Amino acid sequence: MKVLKFGGSSVAKPERIRGIVDILKGYYTKGEKFTVVFSAFGGVTDSLIEMSTLAAKGDEAYQEHFEAFAARHTQAVHELLDGEYREAVLPELERNNEVLKNLLYGVFLVREASKRTMDYVLSFGERSSAFIISHVLRQSGINAAYLDARRIVKTDKSFGSARVDFKLTYQKIRAHYAQNPDVQVVTGFVASAKGGLTTTLGRGGSDYTAALIAAGLDASVIEIWTDVDGVLTADPRKVKRAFTIPTMTYAEAMEMSHFGAKVIYPPTLQPALLKKIPLYIKNTFNPDFIGTLISDHVDPEATAVKGISSISHVALLTLSGSGLFGVPGTAARLFSSLAAAGINIILITQGSSEHAISFAVQPSMANKARKRVEEAFEYEISMKIINPVKIEEDLSVVAIIGENMRYQPGISGRLFQALGKNGINAVAIAQGSSELNVSVVINRSDEAKALNALHESFFLSDTKELHLFMIGVGLIGSTLINQIRAQAGYLKETRGLEIKVVGMANSRKMLFEESGIDLEQWQDSLQEAATEMDPAIFIGKMKELNLSNTIFVDNTASSKVAAFYEDILDSSISISTPNKIAVSSGFVQYQRLKAIAAKRGVQFMYETNVGAGLPVISTLNDLIISGDRILRIEGVVSGSLSYIFNNFKPGMRFSEVVRKAQELGYTEPDPRIDLNGLDVRRKLIILARETGLPLEAEDVAISPVLPESCRQAATVESFFSELEAADTYFNALLQEAEANGKVLRMVGKLEGSSATIGLQQVGSDHPFYHLSGSDNMIVFTTERYKERPLVVRGPGAGAEVTAAGVFAEIITIGNYLG
């Protein structure tokens, strides 16, 4: 015998009921023996409560609710039943409605709806639904009979949530089913006490009815039909990538439901669980899907963590002080004071120093709990050996749940790593020694991020979503977007990595799309975006969205954006940027950014600041951490200046070559930054600082390349006119070098604490002589690389190589976050 139960959402509309008939016909034609329990039509129980509450208040509006109730059921009959079946049901329904109407009128007259009356009122929901559906089944050819559960489920008179008399109930169930071979269509939730008084079974009542029948009949299986695909790994409203848990144990299901997985309410399934009757959770809207099987079988192959759950809102109270240490009975006093006040405790922690006990309660209970505890410890508090109770509000509990966590090391390590890397602070931690559940109290604003980070870490470790917030979509930014788009398929397939650009901005507009901006048409979307760009709002929004694996990318050359790095890193968000401003400004700021990143455990990456995509900073850091000593760094570190002097040949106009370098995307947004040596200076500063030298801009000696007139130009265009006027000057420089058999190179040099930048003539014996294109060449002379220095060479500017460098950092950060 199978026991099926369909919840309110499964019978909310006539077409859904037809779907159920199909499911049941399937069983019936296969000759399976089953009985089926129904809840009231979706929303009906609430409306019955509403109408009786109104009536009890003397509000005549209850009548409208009643009329709607009656009409809804009558209409269902008209839609679902014809001919003799309709004829059989309508009069019975009308009689019932008449009784309900009189009952409500009575409530209205006496202005009172006692629990006892309420149970009777509520019974009309299940009695109407099961009665109608039993006839729909008969009409479809199933030999079905309506069974009012008041005939078989016997309880005491605790109205509202009555206690079952199991012995009598099982007797009645067995006797009834022995006499009635038809498919019994049973009202869930309702029962009766001695004298035939109607009672109800409380929360999860229809599940309870199904469990009682299953236990009474020693059923082979229970199927709970609902509106989701079984029990999911996490709440799908908060974790989009949640999926169905195929099998779980009763204990796991209990834990999940305790944490609010609304699918089942296992405490009410206890009678069936005692008899170890396996249970399926199935979806009425997706009946072919297998759903979740709950049994007592622990699958040793199953994942350690089965599900992730949360209680969205709790308050944490802490009792602390030296007066707790080594005093037996303290915990007993604490918790009995709460018990006496009827306060339920959600979670408890006490460290072995016994200095403090923290416990979580529902926020609405926090003040009452504090009062009661302070009363209980009044003496100790007055003696100042115990502190007044501390309340922390706006917290959530997230928990990982699974039988296979037991004895398996590394699970909590993973839990805290996932939280830590996403900047989520653990306020309190609890793990029962059953190891079935590890609970962490966190800030409420981090709940969704924590659930997603944990879900990814435990269930999707081979797939990962990165959430990018990108300011600056000019040359480098747009190239980066193209690269991400082109590589998306490969990354997903081979690395399980999905990069979503959630926020995007240029200097005018900003755009946000939590599910990821469509990178096929980001230009149009950004252009059409309604929001004016404001970096503070952009960053505020990024923090507010609080997504797991958030990465900030700054592709501007703006100091306004760089000014937010501190705040961003402090919010536990990693940064990748080609913008050199932040790290090459004051040394103190450089140090502070590094320190905050280290404190928050996030990445701050800027490899593209020197030599674009070339591994310059990472090479330098590798040398340093492996114990080498840097003696000298010398290099051509400007891609644009390299290009310009590599291509500037006799007969050419210097200004034309500069324009070409700009067109090729080698120069800074303002090319004067390159030509006046500032860009090279930034790079030298950064390299020096990486070696530990607190170099400031004024410590760098620049021999200017540009004549004074060019340096003074107010705008980029006026600069170009001045540059044209200086063409002859540059020709003279070139000719002089040629005459010496040499070429011109802009060289930066760092030696000891001296840093210099200047245009040099280099001969064919010099490594810089043979550079071409936008090549950079950085020569590290170190203790270990003394005779033959270590050289990094290659294109040191340009959109593709720079964007690729940023792209690689994004993936590095992604790997770190996982």
Interface residue list for ligand NAI (CB under 6 A): 471-477, 505-507, 533, 535, 555-558, 560-561, 578-580, 608, 612, 639, 665-666, 668-669, 797-798, 802
d(CA 39, CA 45): 9
The strand pairing partners of 470, in sequence order, are: 504, 553
Per DSSP, the three-state class of 620 is helix
Of 7, 6, 144, whose CA–CA distance to 88 is shortest? 144
| Helix, strand, coil share of the chain (percent; to 5) | 45, 20, 30
Q: Given the complex with ligand NAI, which of 184 and 608 has the nearer CB atom?
A: 608
Least distance (Å) between residue 763 CB and ligand LTNE7NMQ: 24
Q: Given the complex with ligand LTNE7NMQ, which of 201 and 792 has the nearer CB atom?
A: 792
Partner interacting with residue 674 (select from ligand LTNE7NMQ, Na ion, ligand NAI, none; CB below 5-8 Å by kind): ligand LTNE7NMQ
Q: What angle do CA 802, 804, 806 make, to 5 degrees?
A: 75
Contact of 564 with 536, CB cutoff 8 Å: yes
Q: Given the complex with ligand LTNE7NMQ, which of 570 and 670 has the nearer CB atom?
A: 670
Of 233, 242, 239, 255, whose CA–CA distance to 430 is shortest? 255
Least distance (Å) between residue 609 CB and ligand LTNE7NMQ: 7
Structure token digits, residue 85? 């079946």
Q: Given the complex with ligand LTNE7NMQ, which of 234 and 686 has the nearer CB atom?
A: 686
Give φ, ψ of 594 to 5 degrees. -60, -45
Partner interacting with residue 614 (select from ligand NAI, Na ion, ligand LTNE7NMQ, none; CB below 5-8 Å by kind): Na ion
Structure token digits, residue 452? 């997603």
Q: Which residue is nearest to ligand NAI (CB)?
A: 474
Go through 286-325 and write b for each residue having 16 or more CB atoms within 10 A of its CB, e for each that does not. Answer: eeeeebbbbbeeeeeebebbbbbbbbeebbbbebbbebbe
Q: Given the complex with ligand LTNE7NMQ, which of 242 and 797 has the nearer CB atom?
A: 797
d(CA 557, CA 789): 32
Least distance (Å) between residue 420 CB and ligand NAI: 31
How far, CA to CA in Å, does 508 sit from each of 521, 531, 647?
18, 9, 36
Least distance (Å) between residue 796 CB and Na ion: 8
Go through 58-68 and write b for each residue having 16 or more CB atoms within 10 A of its CB, e for each that does not. Answer: eeeebbebbee
Binding residues (CB under 6 A) for ligand LTNE7NMQ: these are: 612, 638-640, 666-668, 674, 679, 796-797
Least distance (Å) between residue 668 CB and ligand LTNE7NMQ: 4
Least distance (Å) between residue 76 CB and ligand NAI: 58
CB neighbour list of residue 744: distance below 8 Å, 6 or more residues apart: 645, 648, 733, 734, 737, 759, 760, 761
Residue 523, CB-side half-sphere exposure with 13 Å CA sphere: 7
Q: Given the complex with Na ion, which of 224 and 750 has the nearer CB atom?
A: 750
Binding residues (CB under 5 A) for Na ion: these are: 607, 611, 614, 616
Q: What angle do CA 688, 692, 696 make, to 5 degrees?
A: 50
Q: How many CB atoms lie within 10 A of CB 425?
A: 12
Partner interacting with residue 607 (select from ligand NAI, Na ion, ligand LTNE7NMQ, none; CB below 5-8 Å by kind): Na ion
Of 267, 268, 346, 269, whose CA–CA distance to 309 is shortest? 346
Partner interacting with residue 507 (select from Na ion, ligand NAI, ligand LTNE7NMQ, none; CB below 5-8 Å by kind): ligand NAI
Least distance (Å) between residue 312 CB and ligand NAI: 35
Q: What is the DSSP string of 641-676?
A: HHHHHHH--TTS-HHHHHHHHHHTT-S-SSTHHHHT
d(CA 247, CA 238): 22
- Amino acid sitting at position 576: S
Of 493, 596, 606, 515, whose CA–CA distance to 552 is shortest? 606
Least distance (Å) between residue 750 CB and Na ion: 16
Q: Given the complex with ligand NAI, which of 128 and 802 has the nearer CB atom?
A: 802
Q: Which of 238, 594, 683, 749 is catalytic?
A: 683
Q: What angle do CA 535, 539, 542 make, to 5 degrees?
A: 145
Q: Given the complex with ligand LTNE7NMQ, which of 259 and 666 has the nearer CB atom?
A: 666
Partner interacting with residue 556 (select from ligand LTNE7NMQ, Na ion, ligand NAI, none; CB below 5-8 Å by kind): ligand NAI
Least distance (Å) between residue 423 CB and ligand NAI: 24
Least distance (Å) between residue 362 CB and ligand LTNE7NMQ: 56
Contact of 722 with 658, CB cutoff 8 Å: no
Partner interacting with residue 284 (select from ligand NAI, ligand LTNE7NMQ, Na ion, none; CB below 5-8 Å by kind): none
Least distance (Å) between residue 624 CB and ligand NAI: 22
Q: Is the dihedral of CA 664, 665, 671, 677 positive or negative?
A: negative
Least distance (Å) between residue 693 CB and ligand LTNE7NMQ: 21
Length of the chain: 818
Q: Given the complex with ligand LTNE7NMQ, which of 277 and 557 has the nearer CB atom?
A: 557
Q: Given the complex with ligand NAI, which of 40 and 614 has the nearer CB atom?
A: 614
- Amino acid sitting at position 215: A
Give φ, ψ of 554 to 5 degrees. -110, 105
> Residue 282 carries which DSSP code?
E
Active site (annotated) includes residue 683? yes
Partner interacting with residue 579 (select from ligand LTNE7NMQ, Na ion, ligand NAI, none; CB below 5-8 Å by kind): ligand NAI
d(CA 292, CA 266): 14
Exposed, middle or buried, 344 (CB in 10 Å: 0-12/13-18/19+)? exposed
Partner interacting with residue 506 (select from Na ion, ligand NAI, ligand LTNE7NMQ, none; CB below 5-8 Å by kind): ligand NAI
d(CA 604, CA 596): 9
Least distance (Å) between residue 526 CB and ligand LTNE7NMQ: 24
Partner interacting with residue 638 (select from ligand LTNE7NMQ, Na ion, ligand NAI, none; CB below 5-8 Å by kind): ligand LTNE7NMQ
Q: Given the complex with Na ion, which of 422 and 776 has the nearer CB atom?
A: 776
Q: Which residue is nearest to ligand LTNE7NMQ (CB)?
A: 640
Q: Given the complex with Na ion, which of 610 and 757 has the nearer CB atom?
A: 610
Partner interacting with residue 475 (select from Na ion, ligand LTNE7NMQ, ligand NAI, none; CB below 5-8 Å by kind): ligand NAI
Contact of 497 with 491, CB cutoff 8 Å: yes
Q: Given the complex with ligand NAI, which of 580 and 672 has the nearer CB atom?
A: 580
Contact of 542 with 551, CB cutoff 8 Å: no
Query: Catalytic residue positions?
Result: 683
